[in-house]
Amino acid sequence: MFGIGLGSLVRIGFRVSDHILKQQEIERSRTASERARLQAEASRERTNEENAIRRRTQLEDEIARASVAVECPNCGATGNRIRKASTGFCQFCGTAIQVNESGTAYIADPIEKAKALVAEEIRQKSGATGND
């Protein structure tokens, strides 16, 4: 009738089945590889985020150690944090406050005030924030 015997059809069926099984195994392997890649990428991102948080915390700690909370000698306002051995401004009245190495605050002399004004202008233009 057809010219193909039952044995030939069975062999063709087995080859097709083998081919399908191999393709399924390849797809499973690709899926597993992609899943592993995505997990590794997520792990790297978590590690990078944790490192960034750690660096930010270390920087904040360093700034906290290098700066002091000072009372404004002009208006008496508290809550000003200024880095030691630098000049900052009272966040309430704008007075230039100079802080020495030991953390003592006093109204800045005119030259230090001018330097601080220039530094503040540069900070504002660069997008940096705060009295550090």
The predicted-structure confidence for 63-108, as pLDDT tens digits, reads as follows 778 888 999 888 999 888 898 888 888 999 988 898 888 888 888 8
Domain CATH for 83: 2.20.28
The helix or strand, by DSSP H or E, that contains position 99, with its residue range, turns out to be strand 96-99
**Cβ pair 113, 122 in contact under 8 A:** no
Q: What is the pLDDT of residue 127?
A: 74
Total domain count, the chain: 1
Residue range 9-64, pLDDT digits in tens: 778 878 888 888 899 998 988 898 899 999 999 999 999 999 999 999 998 888 77
Q: Is 52 contained in some domain?
A: no
Domain limits at 109? 67-126
Q: How far is CA 63 from CA 81, 108, 132, in A?
A: 10, 21, 7
Question: Measuring CA to CA, which residue among 74, 79, 91 is closest to residue 129?
Answer: 91
Residue range 49-74, pLDDT digits in tens: 999 999 999 988 887 788 889 998 88
Helix (H, G, I), strand (E, B) or coil at 86: strand
Q: Is 22 contained in some domain?
A: no
The model's pTM: 0.44
Q: How far is CA 80 from CA 20, 32, 44, 87, 92, in A?
A: 73, 56, 39, 11, 9
